[in-house]
Amino acid sequence: MSYFDAASAAPLHAVARQALTASLDEGWADPARLYREGRRARMLLDAAREATAEAVGCRADELVFTASGTSAVHSGIAGALAGRRRAGRHLIVSAVEHSSVLHAAEVHQAGGGTVTEVTVGRTGAVSPSGFAAALRPDTALACLQSANHEVGTVQPVAEVAASCRAAGVPLLVDAAQSLGWGPVEGAWSLLAASAHKWGGPPGVGLLVVRKGERFAPQGPRDERESGRAAGFGNLPAIVAAAASLRAVRAEAAEEEVRLRELTERIRARVPGLVPEVEVVGDPERRLPGIVTFSCLYVDGETLLHELDRAGFSVSSGSSCTSSTLTPSHVLRAMGVLSEGNIRVSLPPGTREEDVERFLAVLPEVVAGVREKLGAPVSTGEAVSRPGEDTALVVDALGRRCPIPVIELAKVIGDVPVGGTVRVLADDEAARLDIPAWCEMRGQQYLGEEPAPGGTSYTIRRLT
């Protein structure tokens, strides 16, 4: 089995396993106690904090360990907003932040605060000038991920941090995806990350708050971790997280070159191997191991199951793979195709032969799924017959994507150039996938309007 979902959770690094096993014998006591076992545990905790702070690029007394990356994000946002309540209650986030950031923003807004979502382009990156334009006199905090978790696009953190610093606004960076590859550049104020993203054990997050930043921890106070993370920490896991971070950093330069070559191979060859594919994310400014693409006329959930049967563990942002049945908020913000979406995220140590086997298996798997769904073999080549109507209506109400898009593709050639097709659909994914299909196929998307039972999407044939 080839595990290609390191962006969700990286396999436990060998050094983490060794450190975890060793510290189970030495780090079980309460590090706040003064007896021998407590002092020994305290030494392990202090050493882990020093090592992690060095890797992050901060002072040891600026860093606390939390129960998860999500906990670090939530505590960081809540504490920073509370600490700057006199400045205002305006929060800025990008439209492609991790759900932990967006959920915290929802809570802030429900409590009377205001939130601005900064849009992104088709590569998934914010514009530094666009982010700067969102800053206001009452902005209390801004949040920007260092790199996107779904498409791998690296964000212009240094430029955004400079704008925030000039405006006197702290910037919180979610560095979960990138910290294993190197420190985050720029004058950021707060940083959150999660150990299981770099090969450490799950259940360990970290939160950094720079000295001088106004910060008021929320919830009942605890004497541990500077009052910013309550409860008895999992010291063996913390030690393992710190050890694995140092280990992956030592291997990062060599692994980055190797994984970039492998992901570039996937990016370059998939469009030639599989028809009707859109590779998404920035082609240059991206993390080494992530490559994401979307296949037209494919059910994402079925595609994941078939790849799993073929021996590959991958993930997807397609609506049919989520419990909400809505497209990934990242793909939606980018305005790219969501159906048949596949994210391949290679862990360190991925073998070249496994990538080659994936490229060999993928075309057959996609073709099989398309055949089951009755997708067209080719599109846009039919010639309109004289006397046909210049408008067609496709009733796809009650049918989930990609069926509405498949039905559109089947009939677009049955109207003359300049004619229109109206697709009736009630699946939320159609709002994203039909315009994306038009862009991929060179057709004109005219817009949407309410229709009985759903929405009507109008497309004009150009080619």
Q: Which two tokens stand for residue 409?
A: 């593709």
For 110, what's the count of Cα atoms within 13 Å in the CB-facing half-sphere?
Answer: 6
Assess whether pLDDT exceeds 70 at residue 320.
no
Q: Which of 246-250, 281-285, 372-376 has the lowest mean pLDDT?
A: 372-376
Structure confidence at residue 58 as a pLDDT band (50, 70, 90):
very high
Question: Rounded to whole angstroms, how far apart are CA atoms 326 and 321?
Answer: 9
pLDDT confidence bin for 318, thresholds 50/70/90: low
pLDDT for residue 388: 46
Compute the distance between CA of residue 425 and CA of residue 451 in angstroms, rounded to an integer.
Answer: 9
Q: How much is the average pLDDT of 200-220?
A: 94
Predicted pLDDT at 386:
41
The three-class DSSP label of residue 272 is helix
Residue 246 has pLDDT above 60, yes or no: yes
CA distance to 384, 411, 440, 442, per residue, from 459 (Å)? 16, 11, 13, 11
pLDDT(436) > 80: yes
**Model-level pTM?**
0.89
**Percentage of residues in the chain with pLDDT exceeding 90?**
83
> Quick one: tokens of 337?
């195709």
Higher-confidence residue of 148 and 301: namely 148
In this prediction, residue 379 carries a pLDDT of: 41
Kindly report, residue by residue over 173-183, the tens digit of the pLDDT: 999 999 999 99
Q: 291 falls in which pLDDT band (50, 70, 90)?
A: very high
Give 373-423 pLDDT, tens digit per residue: 888 865 434 334 444 446 799 999 999 889 999 999 999 999 999 999 999
pLDDT band (50, 70, 90) for residue 74: very high
Q: What average pLDDT is seen over the chain?
A: 92
Is pLDDT of 325 > 70? no
* pLDDT surpassing 50 at residue 457: yes
Are the CB atoms for 157 and 185 separated by under 8 Å?
yes
Max mean pLDDT among 131-145, 306-320, 378-392 falls in: 131-145
Catalytic residue status for 401: no
Task: Indicate the helix (H) or strand (E) that contains 357.
Answer: helix 352-373
Tokens of 112: 């009377």
Confidence of residue 299 (pLDDT cuts 50, 70, 90): confident
Return the SS3 of 418. Answer: coil
Catalytic residue (one of 58, 320, 401, 438): 320
Mean pLDDT of 276-302: 93
H-type helices in 84-199, by residue range?
Answer: 99-110, 128-133, 157-167
Q: What are phi and psi of 196, to 5 degrees?
A: -70, -10
Task: Give pLDDT, residue 187.
Answer: 96
Sort 77 into a burial class: Cβ within 10 Å, 0-12 / 13-18 / 19+.
Answer: buried
The model's confidence at residue 248, banded by pLDDT at 50, 70 and 90, is very high
What's the rounded Cα separation, in Å, for the pair 350 and 255? 9
Secondary structure letter of residue 122 according to DSSP = T
- For tokens 């140590």, the residue is 349
Looking at residue 408, its pLDDT comes to 93
Judge contact between 310 and 361, C-beta under 8 A. yes
Rounded distance between C-alpha atoms, residue 92 and residue 139, angstroms: 7
